[in-house]
Amino acid sequence: MAQHSADGVVVHMKVWTYVFITTNQPRKVVQAVRQIPGVVKADALFGTPDAVAIVEGDDIAQMDAVIDRIVEVPGILSTDSKVARWID
């Protein structure tokens, strides 16, 4: 993703996605998700959903590939992904 700075210079920014995870095995799932390249952080949550992973990429396609790997982790029942956007 490219953005222009105040002086007109193009600045390339990373794209972030929050992946909310429903599972009945939060510890096992979070430990596995943390090992996937492109996952910046993964933590269990109190309540629903059971866990969240933060995915970073240079573009949507790169993040989509990481999310595809996350949904293949055994024990994940469902995911809900939200692309973050920077607001000044």
Q: How do the pLDDT tens digits run along the chain, 88 residues long?
A: 455 455 666 556 789 999 999 999 999 999 999 999 999 999 999 999 999 999 999 999 999 999 999 999 999 999 999 999 877 7
The model carries a pTM of: 0.83
What class is the 14-84 domain?
alpha beta
Strands 51-57 and 10-12, by their bridges, are: unpaired
Rounded Cα–Cα distance for residues 12 and 20 (Å): 26
Residue 68, both tokens: 């595809």
Element (H, E) at 64: helix 60-71
